[in-house]
C-alpha cells in the first residue's frame, strides 16, 4: 500500500529538516528541491517591509543561499515548536522552529525563532521554502553580526573576525 499524501509530506519535511540539522552540503540540500519548476526561497525578518524583494528563484539561487550559509554559519540545533501543520491539498507544510546558529569564525551562537512554509510538487520536491524570522530581526542570519559582548576581545585572548557588526550574540 502506497503511503498517503500526508505521510509522504511528513517524510519529505522530516528528511529535509534532518539534512538541515546535520549541515549537509548545498548539493545534498538541492536534491530536496524541484527540478520541474523553479523553486522559490526566501528568508526575512517578520517585520520586513518588502519580503518579496528578498525572494530568490531557481536552483542556482537555492544553491547560493545554502553556500553562503555554509560559509558563515552552521546550524547546531533545530527544534520544532509544536507539530507541523500539513495541508495535503496544497502540499504545504507550516512549522515553527528554533534554530541555534553558530558563527564559523568565532564560535558564537544565537537562536532564531522561525516560521517556515514549505510547498511541495507532485513528486514531493520543494517548490517554495519561505522562512520568516519571528524573533528579533537581528537574529535572522542575513542580518546577524558576529561581535563580542566584550568591548575589547583582544584583552581576554579573543579574536577579531572580519565579519564584525553591531549585534551582541550569546
Query: Tell me, what's the pLDDT at 140?
Result: 86
Query: Tell me, what's the pLDDT at 159?
Result: 45
Q: In order of start, what are the domains of the chain with their CATH numbers?
A: 5-144 (3.10.450.50)
Quick one: 139 exposed, middle or buried, by C-beta within 10 A (0-12, 13-18, 19+)? buried
Answer for the pair 44, 137: CB distance below 8 angstroms, yes or no.
no
Residue 18 sits at the vertex; the CA angle it makes with 59 and 90, to the nearest 5 degrees, is 60
Query: Tell me, what's the pLDDT at 129?
Result: 98
Q: Name the pairing type of β-strands 73-80 and 92-103.
A: antiparallel
Convert the pLDDT of each residue in 29-40 to its tens digit: 999 999 999 999
Name the β-bridge partners of 93. Answer: 86, 118
Answer for the pair 62, 19: CB distance below 8 angstroms, yes or no.
no
Question: Average pLDDT in the 73-101 region?
Answer: 96
Cα 29 from Cα 79, distance rounded (Å): 19
Question: Average pLDDT in the 69-98 region?
Answer: 95
Cell 581576554, residue? 156
Q: Name the pairing type of β-strands 73-80 and 85-87.
A: unpaired
Query: Tell me, what's the pLDDT at 136?
Result: 87
pLDDT band at 147 (very low <50, low <70, confident <90, very high): confident
Whether the pLDDT of residue 165 is over 50: the answer is no
Whether the pLDDT of residue 18 is over 80: the answer is yes
Query: Tell me, what's the pLDDT at 152?
Result: 56
Q: Name the pairing type of β-strands 40-45 and 126-133.
A: parallel
Question: Average pLDDT in the 107-128 region?
Answer: 97
Query: Tell me, what's the pLDDT at 149?
Result: 60
Q: Which of 118, 95, 87, 125 is nearest to 5 (CA)?
A: 87
Query: Tell me, what's the pLDDT at 168?
Result: 34
| Average confidence score pLDDT of the chain | 87
Cα 150 from Cα 101, distance rounded (Å): 20
Convert the pLDDT of each residue in 43-79 to its tens digit: 988 888 777 778 999 999 999 999 999 999 999 999 9
Whether the pLDDT of residue 92 is over 60: the answer is yes
Amino acid at each position: 500500500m502506497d503511503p498517503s499524501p500526508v505521510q509522504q509530506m511528513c517524510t519529505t519535511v522530516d528528511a529535509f529538516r534532518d539534512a538541515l540539522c546535520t549541515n549537509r552540503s548545498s548539493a545534498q540540500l538541492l536534491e530536496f528541491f524541484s527540478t520541474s519548476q523553479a523553486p522559490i526561497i526566501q528568508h526575512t525578518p517578520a517585520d520586513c517591509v518588502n519580503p518579496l524583494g528578498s525572494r530568490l528563484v531557481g536552483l542556482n539561487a537555492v544553491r547560493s543561499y545554502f553556500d553562503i550559509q555554509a560559509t558563515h554559519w552552521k546550524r547546531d540545533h533545530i527544534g520544532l515548536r509544536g507539530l507541523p501543520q500539513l495541508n495535503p491539498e496544497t502540499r504545504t507544510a507550516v512549522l515553527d522552529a528554533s534554530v541555534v546558529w553558530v558563527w564559523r569564525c568565532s564560535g558564537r551562537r544565537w537562536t532564531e525563532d522561525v516560521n517556515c512554509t514549505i510547498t511541495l510538487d507532485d513528486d514531493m520536491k520543494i517548490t517554495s521554502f519561505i522562512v520568516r524570522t519571528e524573533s528579533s530581526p537581528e537574529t535572522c542570519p542575513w542580518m546577524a553580526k558576529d561581535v563580542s559582548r566584550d568591548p575589547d576581545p583582544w584583552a581576554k585572548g579573543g579574536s577579531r573576525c572580519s565579519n564584525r557588526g553591531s549585534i551582541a550574540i550569546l
